[in-house]
Amino acid sequence: MKRILLLSIVILSIFFSSCKTETKKEDKKPEVKEAALIPFNERFKVLNYEIPQWDKLSLKQQKLVYYLTQAGLSGRDIMYDQNYRHNLKIRRALENIYTNFKGDKTTRDWKAFEIYLKQVWFANGIHHHYANDKFKPEFTKTYLDTLLKDTNTKLTGEAYEVIFNDKDAKKVNLDAKKGLIKGSAVNFYGTNVTAEDVDSFYSKLTDPKDKTPVELGLNSKLVKEDGVLKERVWKSGGMYGAAIDKIVFWLEKAKGVAENAKQAKAFDTLIAYYKTGDLEKWNDYNVLWATNTEGDIDYINGFIEVYNDPKGYRGSYETIVEIKDFEMSKKMAIVAKSAQWFEDNSSIMKEHKKANVVGVSYKTVNVAGEAGDSSPSTPIGVNLPNNNWIRVVHGSKSVSLGNIINAYAHAGGSGRLKEFAFSEEEVEYEEKYGGLADKLHTALHEVVGHASGRINDGIGQPKETMKNYASTLEEARADLVGLYFLPDEKLVEMGISPNAKGIGKAAFDGYIRNGMMTQLIRLKLGNDIEEAHMRNRQLVADWAFEKGKKDTVIEKVVKDNKTYFVIRDYEKLRDLFGQLLREIQRIKSEGDFEAGKALVETYGVKVDQKLHAEILKRNSKFKSAPYSGFVNPVLVAEKDADGNITAVKVTQPPSFEAQMLDYAKRYTTLPDVN
């Protein structure tokens, strides 16, 4: 899945008080005050979302949504285990402490314990979901030992020690110098497997002449046993089999209330894939899914995103259940219908354009439930399937998660905008056009961006040719497509943009402001950029800044000791975006690894540390959370005496903690070790 993530901005800062020494005849030891704890809600913001027009669905449709959400949640444990091999053991120990501790819950140590557990829940494990760094507990080993003893909880060995030591410090490492596999804690490879092993294993399975290749490695863990590499496939009877059997149980029920024959056939094929682990069946399923645009209920279910694999093979478990937003989908369908116009008028080389853009569908949906890699932190836009040949031959589906976007929009403020925007005019354009510009950029990114361009004959899949840079380059390419077309009068003619200049200005200002400055609030001072989307945004912004210096397209301005990046020529900036789009498409089309690597490493990774320190200081006055996520609405099935569902009611969970504990109770499907 190619996905868009919402940009919320802030940094976590911990202030330590200075030591205070009393002056008396007998010297006393300095009195050191403990660092103040930053509350969880200033680190992660947990929101609610509604399901609009639920009552307009038929009972059959409500049942379909209910079964699909149950299927998704049944695989929740998979995501924890994929993220790190000790996550389930750690999470369950912490949950047992949380529910059974009867001691003093007013102490700093207990509050620190609560914060740590909530972070684990939010990130589906002990590593930050975005920064990839391991969370550092703000309580001691001694205190944890006390909690374990008081609640009769067992947590020993490496799973215990890793909470406090420096081992497995990074979930996903994209710096090849540190070892892509060795430096990554993600549980996709055996501890004795190397990056060279991965390359060797899959090079033997790859056929460059295959016109309909499978996504090799998508649904398995690669291990080495007695010196022999083998895949532990995620399927019924295989790895994660207990969870997958529960998923299949609910998918069977969903098939029984499918909206149409093609949807039912897709369910059958997905179930067959889960039972066998056969990636050819995954291809078959994706063709059925991508070409079925009828019905009001849709879903994403499977091992999909490869961002968490430093080698770009393995898919993280993920589900989203969607209900069509009829009014907005009608408006945005215009973009999909015009996909060929965008391709023909793109800045990419003629030989890299698709002669016939096939089957791109776009709609706005309302989310009814999420799990795995989409929860609690969720994308706001989705484009699937990932397999390039399916996209070329059969098309793709793009969706905008309307109720999620609305929930985000109502949770923000304008303080940071005014801090980092250079002028009142910039603020004015953002406040007037920024929201719509974001929606249009999401649509263009998903529908046109990911659907555009072609790979030259004989060139392998991007994960093979671009390797650890594939995701960054693809997201940059899709972003650039959106940026290039946003100021175009064609969007006004299509009736989806009210003002080409206003939308373009707001979009360009916001992108440069974020790519050059505000996204750095997510990073600790001194760190390089690791996450693919962040690399993509800095790459685009910094490249445009550097290439436009001669003509002062973007000017770096220091006013009142504050740095700003001010766009001086929007037309030339659009041209620069077009140039970079053309080059990245060339790199992808021709499989030019060295050029792709140079782009990412030169512009997307390293951070100006002086500027970074300044931005963190300017942002320190804002206390709202840097990352947002959601609890899911709770769907309650009401049944008659015979066990038949008579109604499905939508309720909201009482709290984030309550939902996480409820999920732990109702959707524990895997053992501690898999």
The tokens for 72 are: 């998704």
DSSP string, 595-630: HHHHHHIIIII---HHHHHHHHHHHTT--S-SEEEE
What's the CA gap between 422 and 564, in Å, rounded?
6
CA quadruple 157, 162, 163, 164: dihedral positive or negative?
positive
Q: Partners of 225 in the beta sheet?
A: 228
Element spanning 406, H or E: helix 402-409
Written as six digits, the tokens of 629 are: 């996520």
Average pLDDT across each block of 10 residues of the chain; the chain has 674 residues. List them in order: 47 32 41 72 91 94 98 98 98 98 97 98 96 96 98 98 97 91 97 95 92 96 96 98 98 98 98 98 97 94 96 97 83 83 96 86 89 95 91 88 82 80 95 89 88 90 90 95 97 93 97 96 89 95 97 96 97 98 97 97 96 94 84 97 96 97 97 97
Joined tokens for residue 628: 């947002």
> d(Cα 544, Cα 603) in Å, to the nearest integer?
10
Q: How far is CA 474 from CA 210, 539, 651, in A?
A: 22, 12, 38
The token pair that represents 607 in the structure block = 């951070």
Which residues neighbour 549 within 8 Å (Cβ) at sequence distance 6 or greater? none
Q: Tokens standing for 151? A: 């609640």
Q: Judge contact between 628 and 45, C-beta under 8 A.
A: yes
The alpha helices in 466-569, defined as continuous H runs, are 470-485, 489-493, 500-516, 532-547
Rounded to 10 deg, the angle between the 108-123 and 656-666 helix axes is 60
pLDDT (0 to 100) of residue 5: 55
CB-based contacts of 522: which residues, under 8 Å, 6+ apart? 9, 11, 130, 131, 534, 626, 627
pLDDT tens digits along 413-438: 678 899 999 999 999 999 999 988 98
**Which residues, in sequence order, are CB contacts of 570 under 8 Å at separation 6+?**
487, 504, 505, 508
Select from 555, 607, 550 the least CA-distant residue to 422.
555
Beta bridge partners of 415: none
Phi, then psi, of 359 in degrees rounded to 5 = 60, 35
Q: What is the residue whose two structure tokens read 């005014």? A: 418
pTM of the model: 0.80
Spell out the residues 6+ positions from residue 145 whose beta carbon is closer than 8 angstroms to its own. Answer: none
**What are residue 19's phi and psi, to 5 degrees?**
-70, 140
Q: Angle 532-547/500-516 helices, nearest 10 degrees? A: 110
pLDDT the model gives residue 20: 34
C-beta of residue 362 within 8 angstroms of C-beta of residue 446: yes
CA-to-CA separations, 548 to 477, 569, 583, in angstroms, rounded: 19, 9, 16
pLDDT value, residue 8: 39
CA angle 501, 507, 508 (to 5 degrees): 85
d(CA 222, CA 295): 38
Read off the pLDDT of residues 226-242 as tens digits, 9 standing for 90 and up.
Answer: 999 999 999 999 999 99
For residue 16, the number of C-alpha atoms closer than 13 Å in the C-beta half-sphere is 4
Give the contacts of 349 (CB within 8 A, at least 6 positions apart).
582, 585, 586, 589
What would the two tokens of residue 553 be?
């397209």
CB atoms within 10 A of CB 561: 7
What is d(CA 93, CA 431) in angstroms, rounded to the nearest whole number?
46
CB atoms within 10 A of CB 672: 16
Please name every residue paired with 299 in a beta bridge, in sequence order, or none if there are none. 321
Tokens of 318: 């993920």
Produce one character per residue of 407-430: b if its CB has 16 or more CB atoms within 10 Å, e if not: bbeeebeeebbeebbbeeebbebb
Length of the chain: 674
Q: Which pair of structure tokens corresponds to residue 211?
A: 């016109």
Q: Residue ranges per domain, the chain?
A: 82-175, 296-628
Exposure letters 166-201 (e unless 16+ CB within 10 A, then b): eebebbbbbeeeeebbebbbbbbbbeebebebbeeb
DSSP state of 139: S
Q: Which amino acid is at 560?
A: D
Residues pairing with 20 in the sheet: 31
DSSP E strands: which ranges in 360-470? 360-372, 379-384, 396-401
Q: Could you tell me if 416 and 9 are in contact, meaning their C-beta atoms sit under 8 angstroms apart?
A: yes
Give the SS3 label for residue 212: coil
Q: How far apart are the C-alpha atoms of 362 and 396, rounded to whole Å? A: 9
Give bridge partners of residue 313 from the DSSP assignment: none
Spell out the alpha helix ranges (H) of 292-401. 326-337, 339-344, 388-394
